[in-house]
């Protein structure tokens, strides 16, 4: 039996199958610079990014897609002649041996890690960046990547000490968003903040005990836009207690936050949040108000709220 120019892979104990399965291991991924993307959405976006890069004269991200006959029927891109060199048909038993999930969705792609350098990211003059500081859960990391993509962020930074964003669970949680924007990995939070501050980007820390209230910042953004009557936003901003607006502590008094300005958000560890050193790097600490009796928000939820607040303010200022 064959599919395209290749025999259908049917031996789940073959060396190639075992080689692909080893990409579930972080050390193997790091050594080879490859990772697994499972399921229709991830594979579709990987292929889209692959052809986008090749059209620009660059190396694509997809090495090979392995799919069952059912999987090929689920995703029309897999039957596209333009992808024939990238697709290998396998039996369900082979796919099960390759994939990280217990019940794979009919396809898995072996992809090249397409990461950006910190210097390249800053050179693109980003207006909205999400930085993960010691975030450990792959589901949370993937959720924040997806939220950043949906909010129109220009880049993601996964700092040293955070979960591997190419972990299969993290990749699945991004729902394909990992292929939509530049991703910087392994940089220190200090280096990231220093580079972005030098480029004129304000640094905001998402902190439940922050001196600034996100709702008030959004209201001030709307007020500036209204007063400007279509012109550029005024320089007015919410200030700490020695100015006007939210009361602040000694570390943030006198700080000015303009939500529509180029912004980087720092998001911290699930259990501990941002530590003192990370908080000290920020220009301001911003709290998402809680109206109910919940003690706190999950970091993925908090990140979504913060990123959308910035995105909405920036979009208003550009109209």
Q: By three-state DSSP, how is residue 200 classified?
A: coil
Residues 63/36, Cβ–Cβ less than 8 Å: no
CA distance 210 to 74: 47
pLDDT of 230:
56
- The residue ranges of the chain whose pLDDT is under 70 are 1-5, 229-255
Model pLDDT, residue 6: 72
Strands (E) in the chain, as ranges, are: 2-3, 6-7, 34-38, 62-67, 87-89, 107-112, 128-132, 155-158, 183-185, 202-206, 212-213, 238-239, 256-257, 263-267, 284-287
- Which pLDDT score is estimated for 249? 40
DSSP string, 218-256: HHHHHHHHHHHTTSPPPS--EE-TTSSSS---TTTTT-E
pLDDT given at position 3: 59
Report pLDDT for 258. 94
Q: pLDDT for 142-200, tens place per residue? A: 999 999 999 999 999 999 999 999 999 999 999 999 999 999 999 999 999 999 999 99
Q: Which domains are assigned to the chain?
A: 15-112 (3.30.1330.30), 118-212+257-317 (3.40.1280.10)
Tokens read off for 26: 């972080």
* Longest alpha-carbon distance in the chain: 77
Q: Are 25 and 167 in contact (CB under 8 A)?
A: no
Q: What's the rounded Cα separation, in Å, for the pair 173 and 208?
A: 25
Q: Are 72 and 78 spatial neighbours (Cβ–Cβ below 8 Å)?
A: yes
Burial class (CB in 10 A: 0-12, 13-18, 19+), 69: middle
Q: List C-alpha distances in Å: 40 to 44, 106, 289.
A: 6, 8, 37
| Residue 301 DSSP SS3 | helix
Cα angle: 92, vertex 38, 55; to 5 degrees = 120
How do residues 276-298 score in pLDDT, each as one tens digit? 999 999 999 999 999 999 989 99
What's the confidence (pLDDT) of residue 311? 97
191 Cα distance to chain centroid = 19
């Amino acid at each position: 039996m064959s599919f395209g120019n290749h025999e259908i892979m049917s031996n789940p104990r073959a060396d190639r199958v075992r080689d692909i399965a080893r990409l579930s291991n972080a050390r193997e991924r790091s050594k080879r610079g490859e990772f697994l993307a499972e399921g229709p959405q991830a594979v579709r976006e990987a292929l889209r990014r692959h052809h986008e890069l090749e059209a620009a004269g660059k190396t694509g991200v997809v090495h090979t897609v392995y799919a069952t006959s059912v999987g090929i029927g689920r995703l029309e891109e897999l039957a596209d002649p333009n992808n024939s060199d990238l697709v290998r048909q396998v039996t369900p038993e082979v796919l099960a041996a390759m994939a990280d999930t217990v019940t794979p969705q009919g396809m898995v792609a072996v992809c090249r890690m397409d990461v950006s350098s910190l210097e390249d990211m800053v050179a693109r003059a980003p207006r909205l960046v999400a930085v993960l500081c010691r975030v450990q859960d792959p589901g949370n990391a993937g959720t924040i990547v997806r939220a950043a993509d949906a909010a129109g962020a220009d880049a993601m930074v996964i700092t040293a000490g955070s979960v591997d964003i190419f972990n299969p669970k993290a990749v699945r949680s991004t729902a394909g968003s990992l292929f939509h924007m530049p991703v910087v990995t392994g940089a220190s939070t200090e280096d990231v903040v220093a580079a972005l501050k030098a480029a004129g980007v304000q640094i905001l820390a998402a902190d439940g005990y922050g001196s600034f209230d996100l709702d008030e910042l959004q209201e001030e953004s709307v007020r500036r836009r209204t007063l400007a009557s279509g012109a550029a936003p005024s320089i007015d901003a919410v200030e700490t207690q020695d100015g006007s607006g939210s009361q602040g502590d000694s570390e943030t008094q006198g700080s000015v936050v303009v939500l529509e300005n180029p912004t980087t958000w720092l998001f911290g560890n699930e259990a501990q949040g941002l530590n003192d050193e990370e908080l000290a790097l920020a220009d301001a600490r911003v709290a998402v108000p809680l109206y109910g009796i919940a003690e706190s928000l999950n970091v993925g939820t908090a990140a979504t709220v913060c990123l959308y607040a910035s995105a909405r303010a920036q979009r208003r200022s550009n109209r």
